Structure 1
Amino acid sequence: MPRTLSLAIPRTMSGPSRLRWMISVPLFLIALALTALGAAAQETVIKAHGISTFGALKYPADFKHLDYVNPDAPKGGEISIWAFGGFDSMHPYSIKGRSGALSSVFFETMLEAPADEIGANYCLICESMEYPEDRSWVIFNIRPEAAFSDGSPLTADDALFSYETFLSKGLSSFRAVLSQQVDKAEVLDPHRIKFTFKTGIPTRDLPETVGGLPIFSKADFIARNFDFEGTTLEPMLGSGPYVLDRLDVGKTLVYRRNPNYWGKDVPMMQGRSNFDTIRVEYYADYSAAFEGFKGGAYTFRNEASSKDWATGYDFPAVQNGWIKKTELNDGSLATGQSFIFNLRRPHFQDRRVREAIGMMFNFEWSNETLFYGIYARINSFWENSYLAAEGMPSPEELAILQPMADILPPGVLDQPAAAAPVSSTRQLDRALLRQASALLDEAGWIVGNDGLRRNAAGETLKLDFLNDSQTFNRVINPFVENLRRLGVDAVHNMVDNAQAVNRERRYDFDIMTNQFPMGYVPGSGLKQYFGSATADTSEFNLMGLKSPAVDKLIEIVLAAKTQEELTTSVRALDRVLRAEKFWVPQWFKNTHTVAYLDVFDHPDPLPPYALGNLDFWWYNPEKAEALKAAGAIK
């Protein structure tokens, strides 16, 4: 906020002495005061209904609803989905236990991003926000009607308490990043909270960062003596449109729409949260889940198995038209799904070893033989977007990369962006086998009489695949066979979901499947996924990447002031991440392959960046009655 500056006159002076002191004040001090006053007066404070990283907001201050929703969508009915494994907690922000699917649904944030606009956030809990042009601080003006699901008011004290809790407990990588960004948070009045950011750091995304913090009830938290770092089946009290209806531990979760939801008239919430209940059924594996869908145990399935999509949807409910099978456009970024190496293992610290192992995954054969040709290969962390690095680095990228040439991985400056090798349509590509063999020979892993490679200490090149999904067996087993032909002591270790979670958290794995869900405007989350400072504590940087070049590039991305600067810096970062070879990228598709009981409707067209089946789809009672009459619904 604009500051004032005054020249203090000594209190002990009066009369002539006071006058003489005033006359004797050096002219340069007066000039300094006037300069400071002018600078303060010139500080422009923006008051708005949202904020955009670059450029103007799409929606005006008086918008009634998002363009892609149906504001007249009826409320009612149930949608049900499936989840994998099990759960033993309803606390999504603890590192302990396995939180239930959708368990963050109870909590809202000051700001929320729409699904049809990049880099924009609009007021949800707040009715307006204030910030200077340099975004060095932000004030959120909370809507007076904002309330928790028990009807108690949501105030600035709750927002401050939630922030301070996240700052000291929960995910260590998150609080480490947050502590580097925020200087202080203070309550200005019951409905106003101010965050002041630290100097000397990029502030471009910081209003959105603190505006995206979940808010829960301080009074409820204290009354229940809630353990934020523990596990519980009784969730914290939030302000969201859904509350917990019932649960059967590890088996079923049901969320119920709160008819007294405070935000039902807020523009951001029009046409959303339309189902009376959302039910989640848990299954131990994909095959069992598919059988459950065929048997009518749940009503909506976003199909992840290419085999099932190609061959499995020939059961009577589909043939009768009771279940709708369709493909919907997906304009969002690929998830970055990949096999990742644990770089904490000594034998995976050699980039040549990682590259050689990656050559033995034959995507082309897998796509043709296992996936029915429906996938494309992931090569970029920003796949399916304009942010992906392509070909040789541009002059603008080189301007960023060349000053750090001495710490870059090989090939970044003088070779095209690293991409997965293209294999033959036979399971084992012999040309790539020879290339991989040469890399391992060079790295000191020599094939012995038993066909296994050993280093100078006589240790085999051990590689243990950690896997908790039966569906992935058909992908991993051929990969293991190819690796053993290379001389790698590779084994496929199938574990249950609970074991997998525990081992991931202890970093007790060699290689496993992970995802890197990036954004169109990458922010401080980059430090959690790729930053050295949190590599040994982060739940996201599972590979343990510690790269000085990546750390520098993250700071450059965060400091970008225009869309052009951001695009160039992200492409440079993408180029370096890919050259580190800590992943073996898998596959993606730019469509949602969904099947559902034909009782749901959705906006047409859908927004480019969200499927929204639990958000802005709705239940059609006329369709439901027709299916009941046909015997499709009991």
Structure 2
Amino acid sequence: MISRRHLLAALGLAPLAGAIPVFGARAQGAPVHGLAMHGDLKYPAGFPRFDYVDAAAPKGGELRQGVFGTFDSLNPFIYIGDPAAGAGAIYDTLTLHADDEPFSEYGLLAASILVGPDHGFVDYVLRPEARFHDGAPVTPEDAIFSMEILREKGHPFYGAYYANIAKAEKTGERALRFTFDKTGNRELPLITGQLPVLPRHYWQTRDFGRPSLDVPLGSGAYRIGAVDPGRSLTLERVPDYWAADLNICRGRNNFDRLRFEYFRDETTLFEAFKGGAVDVRHERVARIWATGYDFPAVRDGRVVKLELPDHTPAGMQGFVLNTRRAKFQDRRVRQALGLAFDFEWSNKALFFGAYSRADSYFSNSEMAATGLPEGAELALLEPFRAALPPEVFTTVYRPPVSDASGQDRALLRQARDLLAAAGYKVVDRKLVGPDGLQLTVDFLMDDVTFNRIIEPFIKNLQLLGIAATLRNVDAAQYTTLLADFDFDAVVATYPQSLSPGNEQREFFGSAAADAKGSRNLIGIKDKVVDALIDKVIFAESRDALVTACRALDRVLSWQFYVVPQWYSGVTRMAVWDRFGRPATLPKYASGFSDTWWFDPEKAAKIKG
């Protein structure tokens, strides 16, 4: 599965349930109100509310959030256009993920769920009270239409994510079944629960595959209100929301309005927050967190800085090299480029020591490869030995560690030697390949925040004779270039969840390499990777899943497809003190826009 918060970031969607593999047979044989990965659900049928909400939370007020960039579409499900933040929040899904359980989901649109023998199918019975905002009932036909249209015209993510669903059919007045193309995929029953159910009667007369600013019809707790194209979008809480009294919704969706204000540069966005025009800032720049919050509202307590523990896997963030380009198809060239990036200097000089080095595609989780492969993992890798780098079996992968000088000569010499072995030589201070052309690397970015990190990297590459450049473009152009895979190197994140699965195909699978707009930015076409992804997806136990992830991690890491960057184990938030929050926070989310509430008494005490 892909984690909820990363799915939001990737596709601009509303909160969705995370897809969770269901190991064991407890979910099979009889309809249930939810599905758990291990043993019993935390919450039994008829539970009053989630533990991390306050059922007495008041409704009202507005939450104003700042967004960098622009938007030209209210359709968050396609890769064309820039969808507005929050545009997916108007849709309900079949199930809802509990944020204090890593492996459990509960029925939202679905009143009950039944998983077939050997996970060959999953049945859903929809709640009779489920309604779209125009009063029309949510039907099995809507769910079937949604699956079909997302796979046919949606973002390539959906085609990969739902690839193993062979058939969707109506089985009763309010019942439907998803049949899978093979048994044993324990993730698929939960993946189908993530499905955002769209109104067939609305979309049948419209072109789903094109971006549009027409306000679409939804069924969720919020509907789209005021829209100022490219500037702002406001979501309004639906007063007669059909699911407001369900136990899984109590204490949630507390703001009357969710407003998303857009800013064309980060400096203006930060100034808007400091001036009180934006209520919350999720700080991703360690330097700003350390030095930028010395302003009056912080000093007098009107703005509160929070560091909330992040217990979710960090995945991999790095400089992604596009292997569709011939110059990056040699593994030694990719390795050499990685040796020129001085993370230790960056962490010391730019990040105030706030980050840990990403050393795995499953960083900060048990799925990260450790030591040398042995036992079940070795047995999994052994059939592919001849097709893999020998280091997969002989050497523990670690990103290079520099002397933190900014120009580690020993690492640069290693890079020079690798490039020489790949057929490159220095001619008049230019690194020239066998084709007689200088090696070039163009970093494509839409966010100048990264400039200060990339520029020292470029200087080191230039010391090697590489013509390295940085190109900043606007968000719309960046989106188009990424969708067309028209770049040398970009910064990208491969988010992971507590239970990886089908999304790995879209990240690293061969079929996604040529799918326009897919997240296989690297361009990987490798039968070994494809086979290991299948092992992840069809894992029959938690141990088997962890083993397969570690094997996949090891293979990806030793191919040097990315230059690893960093991750943090906390979520940094600065908030104007206008809000209340539950006494218990969920372990796997901040809960901010979902379970917090506007406090008029606090708001009256501050100005901004």
Give the TM-score of the pair, scaled to structure 2.
0.93
Q: Provide, for residues 570-604 of structure 1, a one-character-per-residue CA deviation record: whole Å limited to 9, x for no partner.
A: 11111111112111111111111111110112234
How big is the shift at 1:503?
A: 0.7
Larger Rg: 1
Q: What is aligned with 2:268? A: 288
Distance 1:138 1:539 in 2: 27
How big is the shift at 1:177?
A: 5.2
Q: What is aligned with 1:125? A: 109
478, 485, 505: which one aligns with 1:507: 485
| 2:93 is the counterpart of 1:115 | no
179, 185, 191: which one aligns with 1:196: 179
Q: What is aligned with 1:331? A: 311
Q: Structure 1 residues 173 and 69, CA, compared in 2 at 3 Å: closer, same or farther?
A: closer
Q: Residue type of the partner of 2:168?
A: A
Q: What is aligned with 1:599? A: 578
Q: Which secondary structure state, in structure 1, belongs to the residue aligned with residue 327 of structure 2?
A: helix
How big is the shift at 1:190?
A: 2.8
Q: Which secondary structure state, in structure 2, belongs to the residue aligned with residue 138 of structure 1?
A: strand
Q: Residue type of the partner of 1:439?
A: L
207, 210, 213: which one aligns with 2:189: 207
Q: What is aligned with 2:218? A: 238
| 2:209 is the counterpart of 1:229 | yes
Q: Which has the higher contact order (CA 8 A, sep 6+)?
A: 2
Q: Any conservation in 1 of the 2:512–2:519 contact (CA below 8 Å)?
A: no
Q: Provide, for residues 422-481 of structure 1, a one-character-per-residue CA deviation record: whole Å limited to 9, x for no partner.
A: 1112111111000000000000111112x1111122111110000111111100110100
Q: Provide, for residues 397-416 of structure 1, a one-character-per-residue CA deviation record: whole Å limited to 9, x for no partner.
A: 10111111122233111111
Distance 1:307 1:576 in 2: 34
Q: Any conservation in 1 of the 2:315–2:364 contact (CA below 8 Å)?
A: no
Distance 2:112 2:161 in 1: 26
Q: What is aligned with 1:495? A: 473
16, 33, 36: which one aligns with 1:52: 36
How big is the shift at 1:515?
A: 0.8
Q: Provide, for residues 257-308 of structure 1, a one-character-per-residue CA deviation record: whole Å limited to 9, x for no partner.
A: 1111111111211111111111111112222211111122211001111111
Number of residue pairs aligned between Structure 1 and Structure 2: 581
544, 555, 562: which one aligns with 1:565: 544
Deviation above 3 Å: which 4+ runs of structure 1? none
Q: What is aligned with 2:415? A: 436
Distance 1:381 1:314 in 2: 36
How big is the shift at 1:98?
A: 0.5
How big is the shift at 1:335?
A: 4.6
Q: Provide, for residues 495-544 of structure 1, a one-character-per-residue CA deviation record: whole Å limited to 9, x for no partner.
A: 12121111111111000011111111112111111101111115211111
500, 503, 508: which one aligns with 1:525: 503
Q: What is aligned with 2:277? A: 297
Q: Provide, for residues 16-38 of structure 1, a one-character-per-residue CA deviation record: whole Å limited to 9, x for no partner.
A: xxxxxxxxxxxxxxxxxxxxxxx
Identity across aligned pairs (percent)?
A: 42
Q: What is aligned with 2:12? A: none
Q: What is aligned with 1:369? A: 349
How big is the shift at 1:167?
A: 2.8
Q: What is aligned with 1:37? A: none
Q: Structure 1 residues 352 and 604, CA, compared in 2 at 3 Å: closer, same or farther?
A: farther
Q: What is aligned with 1:39? A: none
Q: What is aligned with 1:422? A: 401
Q: Structure 1 residues 612 and 177, CA, compared in 2 at 3 Å: closer, same or farther?
A: closer
Q: Which secondary structure state, in structure 1, belongs to the residue aligned with residue 344 of structure 2?
A: helix
| 2:337 is the counterpart of 1:357 | yes
Q: Residue type of the partner of 2:353?
A: G
Q: Structure 1 residues 603 and 398, CA, compared in 2 at 3 Å: closer, same or farther?
A: same
Q: Any conservation in 1 of the 2:443–2:471 contact (CA below 8 Å)?
A: yes
Distance 2:161 2:596 in 1: 35
How big is the shift at 1:55?
A: 3.0
Distance 1:524 1:83 in 2: 29
Unpaired segments of 5 or more residues in structure 2? 1-26
What are the within-5 Å matches in structure 2 for residues 31-430 of structure 1?
A: 45-175=29-159, 178=162, 180-199=163-182, 201-222=183-204, 225-416=205-396, 418-430=397-409
- RMSD over aligned Cα atoms: 1.5
Q: Provide, for residues 315-365 of structure 1, a one-character-per-residue CA deviation record: whole Å limited to 9, x for no partner.
A: 111112111112111111115221100010001000110110011111110
Q: What is aligned with 2:535? A: 556
Give the TM-score of the pair, scaled to structure 1.
0.89
Q: Which secondary structure state, in structure 1, belongs to the residue aligned with residue 31 of structure 2?
A: strand
Q: Structure 1 residues 213 and 604, CA, compared in 2 at 3 Å: closer, same or farther?
A: same
How big is the shift at 1:394?
A: 2.8
Q: Residue type of the partner of 2:143?
A: A
What are the within-5 Å matches in structure 2 for residues 618-629 of structure 1?
A: 618-627=597-606
Distance 1:337 1:605 in 2: 30
Distance 1:355 1:472 in 2: 21
Distance 1:267 1:188 in 2: 27
Distance 1:176 1:604 in 2: 39
Q: What is aligned with 2:16? A: none
Unpaired segments of 5 or more residues in structure 1? 1-42
| 2:527 is the counterpart of 1:545 | no
Distance 1:539 1:602 in 2: 37
Q: Which secondary structure state, in structure 1, belongs to the residue aligned with residue 402 of structure 2?
A: coil
